[in-house]
Amino acid sequence: MQLPIYFDYASTTPADPRVVKKMQECLSLDGNFGNPASRSHSFGWKAEEATEQARSDVASLVNCDPREIVWTSGATESDNLAIKGSARFNKAKGNHIITSKVEHKAVLDSCRQLEREGFEISYLDPNSNGIITPEMVLNSITDQTILVSLMHINNEIGVINDIESIGKITRERGVIFHVDAAQSTGKLPIDLSKLEVDLMSFSAHKTYGPKGIGAMYARRKPRVRLEAQIHGGGHERGMRSGTLATHQIVGMGEAFRIAKEDMVQDNIRIKSLRDKFWDGLKDMEEVYLNGDPEHRAAGFLNVSFNYVEGESLIMALKDIAVSSGSACTSASLEPSYVLRAIGLKDELAHSSIRFAIGRFTTDEEIEYTIGLVRNAVGKLRALSPLWDMYKDGVDLDTIEWSTS
Amino acid sequence: MAYSKKVIDKFENTLAEPEKHSVGRWDPSESDIGTGMVGAPACGDVMRLQIKCEPRNNSHVISDVKFKTYGCGSAIASSSELVDMLKGKTLEEAKEIKNQDIVDALELPAIKIHCSVLAEDSIHQAIKDYESKI
């Protein structure tokens, strides 16, 4: 077993060795380095063939037409294009957009920009399990609503929104439905021939592909119209200009092809590892699982260790790589907005750790980490005045804290 | 977060050998103990500093210190560093300790200055508590 152990697969994943091999074939003179837009020679044709194969592989994972896939630089750009592009194109129809408080910043910040341009945004509160229900969406739609943007799987706690039911509502009301699926490719089956989703964002690097490449799905029937956000050359049917990055695209295609092939076995294995992990922690005192225990993607385990601050726990767990909802690990010094939105008290948000398990996690790593976590939490609690008070039966909510 | 080696060492040593680094607590009602507790759980850090004092000459000397801290790595390192500074000092000398002394000793990054301020507050509270008993 090699240290440190990687438990941050929701942040990014290593590229699969099969992906790396394909990418390497598209860079040098003896490889497939041409510009896919070059029509006048075989270098261009060959490169185009590779990017179109990748487009088919991506489309195949989510069961859509390859012509509905637009290459972007990643899910952030896809979110920007989908939200700003569709809102600006459709502004004559209405100015109201619905999203939620637990979206990725790429969605929230795009919405903030639209607010500055005069759009009105409803930020839905999730239920205490972190989920946005179809009813919440239904109750928020007005005759001014043009767009609903929600994530498929939440990136902090891994809970799953029912995009099938939400899509029925938006379709019936003639509202565009965008889904950020950055976390869900390879984790959940996605069938766009059945889902009534109009726009979807994908990322390669959360699914064992390279960073710097993503895609956006734009439905053809019924057709969703967008205003391009990047101009110059008219690539991707005018929706996203810029020379196609053959090696990146081929990497994403291969990653998504593998995801389709391996998804079922991968997820059975990953879920059993996650359950084993939680089984090894849940008998500890004052330990809480964050997010819906059932409607949750396989790799996510977000846990709060009460009376222990998350950043100090990460430091004590120096042999494993995780992330925390603690303020001290964020640039803003605010605890996780996702955990706060699901109603977690600030101190439990400060105490949270996200363990994200993936394709290369082993049984041995889980066993080792359970021991490590139990030991570190024990040591930090021995150092925690709050733990003393809890053990003495003091209710921390009754104390007047001196905040400087 | 790029911590200095000093913060990391202080944190790891304190965690590895808590007793040697004065982790613990005394009964705050004892007459020779001064207790200061600062911070708040919702803010992510709480420090409890206790000083044991004895009269000497015309002053009072801090003969021993105990602490417990809930907080990030630098909050724990700052408390532990403070404890080292306090032992053997008179109350007058202890009052002179400034948060900048902790910042300098640990090479705290700017975003963690708050931890050193909390540590300084904890001394003042502990001394005030002890002085109210004499």
- Name chain B contacts of A350, Cβ cutoff 8 Å: 41-42, 44
Q: CB contact, 8 Å: B106 with chain A?
A: no
A329-334 long-range contacts, CB within 8 A, separation 24+: A329/B1, A333/B111
Query: Inter-chain contact B44–A326, Cβ cutoff 8 Å?
Result: yes
Q: CB contact, 8 Å: B83 with chain A?
A: no
State whether residue A156 is helix, strand or coil. coil
Phi, psi of A175 (to 5 degrees): -105, 140
Residue of A nearest to B77 (CA): A312
Residue A249 and residue A245: Cα distance in Å, rounded? 6
Q: CB contact, 8 Å: B113 with chain A?
A: no
Residue A134, amino acid = P
User: Max Cα separation, chain A?
Assistant: 80
Alpha-carbon distance B58 to nearest alpha carbon in chain A (angstroms): 32
End-to-end CA separation in angstroms for chain B: 44
What is the total residue count of chain A? 404
ipTM: 0.96
- Which of B8, B76, B125 lies nearest to residue A383, judging by beta carbons? B76
Q: CB contact, 8 Å: B124 with chain A?
A: no
State whether residue B52 is helix, strand or coil. strand
pTM of the complete model: 0.93
Q: What is the pLDDT along chain A (404 residues), one digit of tens a residue?
A: 999 999 999 999 999 999 999 999 999 999 999 999 999 999 999 999 999 999 999 999 999 999 999 999 999 999 999 999 999 999 999 999 999 999 999 999 999 999 999 999 999 999 999 999 999 999 999 999 999 999 999 999 999 999 999 999 999 999 999 999 999 999 999 999 999 999 999 999 999 999 999 999 999 999 999 999 999 989 999 999 999 999 999 999 999 999 999 999 999 999 999 999 999 999 999 999 999 999 999 999 999 999 999 999 999 999 999 998 876 766 666 788 899 999 999 889 999 999 999 999 999 999 999 999 999 999 999 999 999 999 999 998 888 887 65
